[in-house]
Amino acid sequence: MKVDIKWITRLMLLSLVFVGAMGVSSVTASAQAKPEKKKATSTRKAKNNVSLETARKTALRHVSGTVESEKLETRNGKPVYAFEIKNAKGNTDEVWINARTGRMIRKSKGAAAETQGKMAYTKKKSKR
């Protein structure tokens, strides 16, 4: 049996080209797949599982009063419903509700109540 060296060399060269082409195509396919994953993640983050009405009810459970303003914001990369609620005394409280889970994140006195408190503190301090 006679072995043809040229035939074996051509076969090896052809198989090397085939393997190289497969390697390049797999790298290209994986490079193209990564941006699609990022797009899918960013669309998922934008989805809010809790409606505005449900978030408003949750906020009013934590602070009683009248809702003065409500808006959807992004805080620390998370969607948050922010409510300003005026109570019977006229003070404004701010309540943040997580738009995905419906849980209260933060409850604080509003700017008007904080300003009034600072003014009262300043008046007391100046009387000394």
DSSP 33-96: HHHHHHHHHHHHHH---S-HHHHHHHHHHHS-SEEEEEEEEEETTEEEEEEEEE-TTS-EEEEE
Q: Which of 8, 121, 102, 106 has its CA nearest to residue 55? A: 102
Q: Is residue 52 within 8 Å of residue 81, measured between CB atoms?
A: yes
* Residue 1 binned pLDDT confidence (cut-offs 50, 70, 90): low
Residues 122 and 79 occupy one common structural domain: yes
Query: Range of 42's domain?
Result: 1-46
pLDDT digits (tens, 9 = 90+) for 31-81: 565 555 444 444 444 566 889 999 999 999 988 899 999 999 988 888 999
Tell me: pLDDT of 111 over 50.
yes
Residues 76 and 28 occupy one common structural domain: no
Tell me: pLDDT of 89 over 60.
yes
Residues 1 and 58 occupy one common structural domain: no
Number of domains composing the chain = 2
pLDDT value at residue 42: 43
pLDDT value at residue 23: 76
